[in-house]
């Protein structure tokens, strides 16, 4: 399968997930928010897919989490979402720092993102920085 067709398939699956779980999955880039670490387990338990469908869901969610807009939302410290779209907790400093490095590597880190990143860092609790 070509990467273009895989991207299309994953995008289509995310579209279905966005309809089923509004507030958790988004197709609009600016609305994308980080997901709870256990989101795959939650989705599989809720949907009860066949083994073939399970593989497609896992691939699509992995693709979603690897997309640049998702990584930007992690770098900016947005709140993680659960399967019901509820805000769980903001991304911790370690996740934010790692996401920033990924974006720098992709040449997707901009001055605007840096300013927003630094603005959030200024508001962090010192204990979060020590984790």
Domains of the chain: 3-130 (1.10.1710.10)
* Beta strands at 79-81 and 87-90: parallel, antiparallel or unpaired: antiparallel
Residue 36 contacts by C-beta under 8 Å, 6 or more apart in sequence? 42, 80, 81, 82, 83, 88
Residue with tokens 């994953």: 10
Is the pTM higher than 0.85?
yes
**Residue-by-residue pLDDT tens, the chain, 131 positions:** 688 999 999 999 999 999 999 999 999 999 999 999 999 999 999 999 999 999 999 999 999 999 999 999 999 999 999 999 999 999 998 999 999 999 999 999 999 999 888 876 655 544 444 44
d(CA 72, CA 96): 9
């Amino acid at each position: 399968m070509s990467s273009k067709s895989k991207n299309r398939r994953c995008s289509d699956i995310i579209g279905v997930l966005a309809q089923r779980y509004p507030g958790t999955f988004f197709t609009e880039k600016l609305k994308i928010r980080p997901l709870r670490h256990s989101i795959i387990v939650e989705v599989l338990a809720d949907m009860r897919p066949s083994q073939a469908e399970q593989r497609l869901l896992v691939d699509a969610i992995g693709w979603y989490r690897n997309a640049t807009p998702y990584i930007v939302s992690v770098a900016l410290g947005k709140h993680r979402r659960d399967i019901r779209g509820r805000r769980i907790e903001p991304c911790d400093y370690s996740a934010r720092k790692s996401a920033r490095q990924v974006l720098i590597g992709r040449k997707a880190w901009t001055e605007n993102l840096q300013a927003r990143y630094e603005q959030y860092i200024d508001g962090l609790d010192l204990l979060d920085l020590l984790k």
